[in-house]
């Protein structure tokens, strides 16, 4: 397992994170999995043996049951494990039961600590943008939680580029604790983060933790062109991530399967290996319904792809350039930063 520095912080984290959305299986989260305490303990043992030190959850996963199971499974091993959790979505029926207000964030953090059975959270994420709460109030709440020792670091999740830059600006202006990481959706199937979020990460030294690197199973190799669709979510109603172009998805999967056959590994391992070696990525969240799936995913930590294999995967999945990026690629190539080139390099025409 490789360990990487988390953004501008001095914290080192494992290149893979265990995601625990499958823990609990309550309500809407039952469709993701229903791992109980015994199963969670086995998966955590597998991860610790593989060198994983980062474990991710959220207060809404199975109505808090994921946090409870994770906390119980980590008892006696807290020195080895770093925990990330999140707040923002509705956890109470009252008028202040959601959002990023000082009221909700502090109450949500204290509730998460109680469920986790810990005295602090290592990395606390704003789970989603809140456009109605002033950012200075939200960041001041995170600052208070940090200075009181209840959280070690703060991050944001599912923010747009301008949201992140505004948060960094307000933190600098008011001398508040700034986010050191962002948790984002990114995969071969959905590379939108390359437009803004990954360049921002590189330019501003923000850590990147990727969720759903297998696109909810779409990149596992089970979904193939002209083959029966497995039971479960249909491609037309996938939702997270939405599937705009099924044919392009199938093109990507074909390359994944072919590369996997060349290396004697699963398509899922190839997809994870591609993601973890992308520029600006700090850690990739992996999760599994079964121990066998988890064991297979963990093997991707030591998988090396050749330059030709990476090129084929890139070509099959490359997103089109939006404005103003195509204009920059055509006219500004002599004066681009490393952050600019993260997106534009493949499109710059060589003279």
**Which residues are annotated as catalytic?**
61
Tokens of residue 148, six digits: 């009181």
The candidate with the shortest Cα–Cα distance to 100, out of 69, 141, 66, is: 141
Q: Which residues contact 29 (CB under 8 A, 6 or more apart)?
A: 21, 61, 62, 66
Q: What gap in Å lies between CA 47 and CA 43, rounded to an integer?
A: 6
At 176 the three-state DSSP class reads: coil
Tokens of residue 307, six digits: 């330059």
Which contiguous run of DSSP H or E holds residue 17? strand 16-19
Q: Euclidean distance between the first and final Cα of the chain, in Å?
A: 41
- Whole-angstrom CA distances from 343 to 72, 137, 184, 340 are 42, 33, 16, 6
The candidate with the shortest Cα–Cα distance to 282, out of 151, 173, 155, 170, is: 155
Q: What gap in Å lies between CA 40 and CA 248, rounded to an integer?
A: 35
């Amino acid at each position: 397992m490789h360990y990487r520095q988390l953004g501008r912080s001095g914290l080192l984290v494992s290149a893979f994170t265990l995601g625990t959305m499958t823990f609990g299986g309550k309500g809407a989260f039952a469709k993701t999995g229903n791992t109980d305490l015994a199963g969670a303990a086995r998966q955590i043992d597998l991860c610790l043996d593989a060198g994983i030190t980062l474990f991710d959850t959220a207060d809404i996963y199975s109505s808090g049951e994921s946090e409870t199971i994770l906390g119980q499974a980590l008892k006696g091993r807290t020195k080895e494990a770093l925990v990330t959790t999140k707040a923002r979505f509705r956890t109470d029926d009252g008028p202040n039961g959601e959002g990023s207000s000082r009221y909700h964030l502090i109450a949500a953090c204290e509730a998460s600590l109680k469920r986790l059975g810990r005295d602090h959270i290592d990395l606390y994420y704003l789970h989603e943008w809140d456009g109605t709460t002033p950012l200075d109030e939200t960041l001041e709440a995170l600052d208070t939680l940090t200075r009181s020792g209840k959280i070690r670091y703060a991050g944001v999740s599912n923010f747009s580029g301008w949201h992140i830059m505004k948060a960094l600006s307000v933190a600098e202006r008011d001398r508040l604790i700034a986010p050191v990481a962002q948790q984002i959706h990114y995969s071969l199937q959905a590379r939108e983060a390359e437009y803004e979020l990954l360049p921002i990460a590189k330019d501003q030294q923000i850590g990147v933790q990727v969720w759903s690197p297998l696109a909810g199973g779409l990149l596992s190799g089970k979904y193939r062109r002209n083959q029966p669709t497995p039971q479960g979510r249909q491609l037309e109603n996938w939702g997270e991530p939405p599937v705009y172009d099924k044919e392009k998805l199938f093109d990507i999967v074909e390359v994944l399967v072919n590369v996997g056959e060349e290396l004697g590994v699963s398509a899922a391992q190839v997809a994870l290996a591609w993601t973890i070696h992308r520029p600006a990525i700090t850690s990739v969240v992996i999760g599994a319904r079964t121990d066998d799936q988890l064991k297979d995913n963990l093997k991707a930590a030591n998988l090396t792809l050749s330059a030709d294999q990476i090129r084929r995967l890139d070509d099959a999945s490359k997103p089109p350039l939006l404005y103003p990026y195509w204009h920059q690629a055509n006219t500004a190539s002599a004066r681009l930063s490393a952050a600019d080139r993260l997106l534009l390099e493949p499109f710059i025409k060589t003279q």
